[in-house]
Structure 1
């Protein structure tokens, strides 16, 4: 079945009550906003972050191992109230939950005074250290963010750096390398972004987000982006000091082709299959337009190809955005062979300051989205790869805004089953 017609196929529905005997469920009377989940694969445990709580659960049946309350003290709450925030906002919403060895690094909004702790993974009450969450966790529970820990201990976070949320940044801290960030108050670097996900891949850290498109001249339009930085970037000297010298970003295209393409511009969720170098993405229309969603899949090589191509550059605020040849095609992250204070990259600092937006758009694996549905807004995607008799099956699970999960099956990047199953 062709993906173009998949949305029109009758979808069998399985009610929640029908599959209840095979479901495991965890509830806590006082806990809401289960926004962060991570795994401890060695102990086969699930770690969950909720408002004011951390939980350790058995992965097999979701039975509770440990519950730890992590709320805000009264002084922090009073300070939050004095700044005009509500009782609902002045709580500790867990927004970072990362496993590193035997430790759990976790951050919460802490009534608009973000805070991070490093805990023993097998005993979450055992706190080793506590640090500021500024630039590591959003102040507001409404702000989207993403974070990851590398094997060498660096924390990469994409979040709002300030209380009002007007200073978004991709920021590196902890570890042995110097702290770096994207340029401050520069809308060409980041323009009101909503961060979605981040991945540690080879020499680079990749970030996926949506933002207001500075290169679009006709009104306010949101574009989806893939961005990357070199993990061994140490920043500039005099120019781009304490700032990334390797930051690049490119637009992701997910659209229904035609004489006038129909664009799904707003990235909501991604899932990376490292064994196949594929990134699945959920894209939707703007919240103020007719609801529609699609799944597009991107090969990492296509993203790399866009980063190797020409830049899109604007000489001044009144000039047009034009392609500009890449001074360093096939750019790599460089090596530390000129001393600690030499820039680790092959990019000229003047170039790095103005060339970061790529001209070419990253195209998906297939010109038609893998899955499309009108009158729906998908929010999350998870993909499982299953070996069949003669081929690999990609099983997609798509969360919707209608309390449903859609299931679709793909093989060899072509549709073999054009159905979706609702698990309500």
Structure 2
């Protein structure tokens, strides 16, 4: 949304009596100096607005971040009175400068903001960044394409000891040309960074590939993740996948158990010794060495130099996260799915998962 956001609430009724009602309109006016400066560049007229890229309702507050004419800004408001700003903070590393850059964010129960976005004006410094709360700010390694390689961030979830991020990126481990893989990454929420090595940087960052494909002698892969939806009641994550934009349009919906994701993260790593070496499986030296084991008095006393060296080089998992079913739940050719919402409906004898799929032009059920 630009300029203002309308917040809608779903009032539950019986059967077809559910209805959407306008809860409030959220004004998001531009800071005039930034808008005026931006307008000096004629080719940026359309982007010189306040595009909302983060909108999170948590507790009794609404947290928003907007591009603010390439000068990102974030604000907090009360749910019952969103027209009044409680607090305003710098939006850099929490919201992209450019509205065309994909980003995602989540606020944990402890008030920590985890954002996946680009930090610089040029869009060349992507990062998964933690701020706010009582823990120190951390980010992914800067200008290291092996950690993040031109990612498009899709979603973030606060689950248990971890924060999970879903995105697609150029695959560094793919040796034959350029291709895009879909990923799930996670970090420990009690990570406090390294000492000497990986200072102000995640020491628990890991990522794995998500597989959504049609089975066969030569599988047909849907490599580009577009949207996800998490069902916490069943520890299930649905994802919309498509083919590359330069290929024939095709889409699929796959679902992944959280246990399958955990299994991949507990497995071996894939590591490249040098640019001329192949990517080879490497044993995981200390699985989950930090999560849930930190000493509150000296939280990083167990971070030896060897552990930090391993954390710096071992982050890509060797095993691919496999979906619940061999084939996707839904496939459709000649169309690109864009968004997904899943509802659980009680049938006569069992529960049904009803998928609402957006295509950019219409919604399918």
**Which of the five TM-score ranges fits, normalised by the shorter chain?**
over 0.9
- Alignment partners' CA distance in 2, 1:245 and 1:297: 29
What is aligned with 1:349?
308
The answer to whether the 8 A contact 2:191-2:290 is kept is no
The answer to whether the 8 A contact 2:243-2:250 is kept is yes
CA RMSD of aligned residues (A): 1.7
What is aligned with 2:257?
299
- Residue 126 to residue 74, structure 1, CA distance change in 2 (3 Å): closer
What is aligned with 1:287?
245
Residue 183 of structure 2 corresponds to residue 232 of structure 1: no
**Structure 2: gaps (5+ residues):** 12-18
TM-score, length-scaled by structure 2: 0.94
What is aligned with 1:325?
283
Residue 358 of structure 2 corresponds to residue 399 of structure 1: yes
What is aligned with 2:232?
274
The answer to whether the 8 A contact 1:234-1:344 is kept is no
Aligned counterpart in structure 2 of residue 361 of structure 1, from 317, 320, 331: 320
Aligned counterpart in structure 2 of residue 384 of structure 1, from 343, 348, 353: 343
Determine which structure has more spread, i.e. the larger CA radius of gyration. 1
Shift of 1:343: 5.2
TM-score, length-scaled by structure 1: 0.81
- Alignment partners' CA distance in 2, 1:338 and 1:72: 43
Greater relative CO, 1 or 2 (CA 8 Å, sep 6+): 1
Residue 169 of structure 2 corresponds to residue 218 of structure 1: no
Question: After the TM superposition, which residues 3-402 of structure 1 pair with which residues of structure 2 at under 5 Å, given as runs?
Answer: 50-60=1-11, 61-82=19-40, 85-329=43-287, 333-337=291-295, 339-342=297-300, 348-401=307-360
- Alignment partners' CA distance in 2, 1:107 and 1:375: 35
* Cα deviation digits, residues 238-270 of structure 1 (max 9, x gap): 000000000000000011111111110000000
Report the count of equivalent residues: 357
Shift of 1:332: 5.9
**Structure 1: gaps (5+ residues):** 1-49, 408-424
Shift of 1:187: 0.1
- Residue 131 to residue 149, structure 1, CA distance change in 2 (3 Å): same
- Residue 57 to residue 263, structure 1, CA distance change in 2 (3 Å): closer
Shift of 1:65: 4.7
- Alignment partners' CA distance in 2, 1:178 and 1:85: 39
- Alignment partners' CA distance in 1, 2:23 and 2:362: 28
